[in-house]
Amino acid sequence: CGRVKNKVVEFPMKLKKLGRDDPRRIVHSLKVGLAVLLVSLLYYFDPLYDGLGATAMWAVLTVVVVFEFSVGATLGRGLNRILATFLAGSLGFGVHHLANLSGEKGHPILIGLFVFILAASVTFFRFFPRIKARYDYGLLIFILTFCMISVSGYRDEEILEMAHKRASTILIGAFTAVSVCVFICPVWAGDDLHNSVATNIEKLGSFLEGFGSECFKISCKGGESNKALLKGYCSVLNSKQSEESQVNFARWEPRHGRFRFRHPWKHYLKIGSLTRQCAYRIDTLNGYINSEIQTPLNIHSTKVQELCMKISSESSKALKELALAMKTMTRPTTATAHITKSRIAANSLKSFLKSPGLGGDIHLLDIIPAVTVASLLTDVVAYAEQIEKSI
C-alpha cells in the first residue's frame, strides 16, 4: 500500500520534471491537440462533411499517426504516407481492373494472388537497412492501401470514389499535421542533431576538466556533484542510433535557420563516431577513478601529476572550444593552440619517464598506472586533433 501511495505521490513530480527537462515537450503535446481539433472540425462543417462523409475519419487518423516531435520526422512520415497512398492506390486500381477481365470466378483468385505476392515482397524490401531508414513507413502504408483498395474492389462498385476520398482525406490530414508542426514553434531535427553532437564534445571536455583533480584527489570540496559531472560522458557512449535517426529526419527538412538546403548532415555521423571513440578511451580512464574494478591510482611523482593535469586540462579546453565553435558555427580560434600545448605536455611526460635518473627514486610499479593514464590521455589528444580537423 505504501508503495502504491508513493508512486501516486511521485507521479506528478515526474510529470513536472519531464516538462521542465525539455519544455518543447509541453508545446508539442498542445500542438498535437490543436492539429487533431482542427481536423475534427471537418465533421462539423456541413459542406466539407457532405463531400467526404464517414471517410473524414481518415484525416483524423493521418494527423495522429503522422505528427512527430521534430519537423523532419513529421515531413518524412507525411510524404511517405501521401506518396505510398497514391502509388498503391493506382496500382490497386489497375489490379482491380485486370482481375475484372478474368471474369466472376477468376477475380478473387487473381486478387488473392496479387495481394499475397505484393505483401510478401514489400515486407522483404523492408529489411534493406537503407530503405528501412527512410522509407519504412511508406512501404507499410503501401501494403495497407494496396490491400484495402484491391480487396474491397471485389465488393464496392464505387472503388474509384473510395480511392479518391481516401487520397483527399489523407492529403488534408498530412497537410494539417505538417503545417501545425512547421508553423507553431517548430522543432528542427537538424538543430537537435547539431546541438547534440556539439554537446557530446563538450561533455568529454567537462570530464577531462574534472579528471585531473579527481584522479589525484587534490580538491575534494566538489564531492558528489563533481562525480556527477564526470558521469556526463556516459550518454555519449550510446549516442550512435539516436544520431543516425536524427540525420535521417534532418534530411527531410527544408532550409531553415542557419542551415542550407543540402547541409552535409552525414558529416555529423563522422564527427559523432570520432567523439564516441574518444569517449571509449575516457570510459577506460574513468575505470581508474571509480575503483570498483581497478585499484586506485597511486602516483607519487609530482612531476608526473603535473604533466597529466596539464594534458587533461589543455585537451579539455581544446574540446570545449571546439564544441563552442561548433554551436556558434564559427572557426575555432585558440583550439589548435590548446591541442599543441597538450601534445607538448604529453611528449615531455614521455621523455620524463624515459629519463635515466628516474629508476632509482621510485618503483616502476608505482608509475605503471600513471603511464597507462598518460598513454590514454595521449590517445584522447589524438582524437581531439582529429575531431578538430573534421569540423
Q: How far from the centroid of its chain's Cα atoms is residue 349's Cα?
A: 39
Half-sphere exposure (CA, 13 Å, Cβ side) for 134? Answer: 9
Among 6, 102, 123, 390, binds a second copy (CB under 8 A): 123
Of 243 and 263, CB closest to a second copy: 243
Binding pattern to a second copy, positions 162-201, x when CB under 8 A?
----------------------------------------
Report residue 294 as a C-alpha cell. Answer: 581497478
C-alpha cell, 165: 476520398
> Which one of residues 75, 82, 84, 143 is an interface residue with a second copy (CB under 8 A)?
143
Return the number of the residue (11 or 328) whose C-beta is nearest a second copy.
11
The nearer residue to a second copy, 31 or 194, going by C-beta atoms, is 31
Q: How far is the CB of 85 from a second copy (least distance, A)?
A: 13
Pick 126 or 256: Cβ nearer a second copy: 126
Applying CB under 8 A, the site for a second copy has a residue count of 80
Which span (81-89, 188-196, 237-245, 335-343) binds a second copy, by CB under 8 A?
A: 237-245
- Out of 83, 87, 160, 376, the residue judged to bind a second copy by CB under 8 A: 376
Residue placing its CB nearer to a second copy in the complex, 93 or 222: 93
Distance CA 249, CA 133 (A): 9
Single out the residue of 116, 185, 227, 270 in contact with a second copy (rule: CB under 8 A): 116
Among 241, 302, 330, 333, binds a second copy (CB under 8 A): 241
Residues 6+ positions from 59 with CB-CB distance below 8 Å: 39, 42, 52, 169, 170, 172, 173, 176
**Among the residue ranges 97-105, 107-115, 310-318, 320-328, the one whose residues contact a second copy (CB under 8 A):** 107-115
Angle, to 10 degrees, between the axis of helix 189-215 and the axis of helix 71-101?
Answer: 130
Q: What residues have CB less than 8 Å from 249, skipping those under 6 apart?
A: 70, 72, 73, 76, 189
Query: Coil, helix or strand for 256?
Result: strand
The DSSP letter of residue 295 is P
Binding of a second copy by 283 (CB under 8 A) = yes
How far apart CA 325 and CA 331 sit, in angstroms, is: 6
Beta carbons of 78 and 177 less than 8 angstroms apart: yes
Taking the least distance from each CB to a second copy, the nearer of 180 and 259 is 180
Q: Which long-range contacts (CB under 8 A, 24 or more apart) does 25-32 make?
A: 27/184, 27/185, 28/69, 28/187, 31/67, 31/180, 31/181, 31/184, 31/185, 32/64, 32/67
Task: Tell me which amino acid residue 381 is.
Answer: V
CB 272 within 8 A of CB 239: yes
Q: For residues 28-87, which are near a second copy according to CB under 8 A?
A: 28-30, 32-34, 36-37, 40, 43-44, 49, 54, 56-57, 60-61, 64-65
| CB of 128 or CB of 296, closer to a second copy | 128
- Binding of a second copy at residue 151 (CB under 8 A)? yes
Q: Does 375 bind a second copy (CB under 8 A)?
A: yes
Least gap, CB of 151 to a second copy (angstroms): 4
The Cα-based distances of 107 to 90, 112, 161 in angstroms read 18, 9, 20
The one-letter amino acid at 334: T
369 binding a second copy? (CB under 8 A): yes
- Name the minimum Å distance from CB 365 to a second copy: 4
Interacting positions 341-360 with a second copy (CB under 8 A): 350, 353-354, 358-359
Tell me how far apart the alpha carbons of residues 225 and 165 are, in angstroms, rounded to a whole number. Answer: 60
Give the nearest distance from C-beta 113 to a second copy in angstroms.
9
Nearer to a second copy, 29 or 390 (CB): 29
Inter-helix orientation angle 71-101/56-66, to 10° = 140
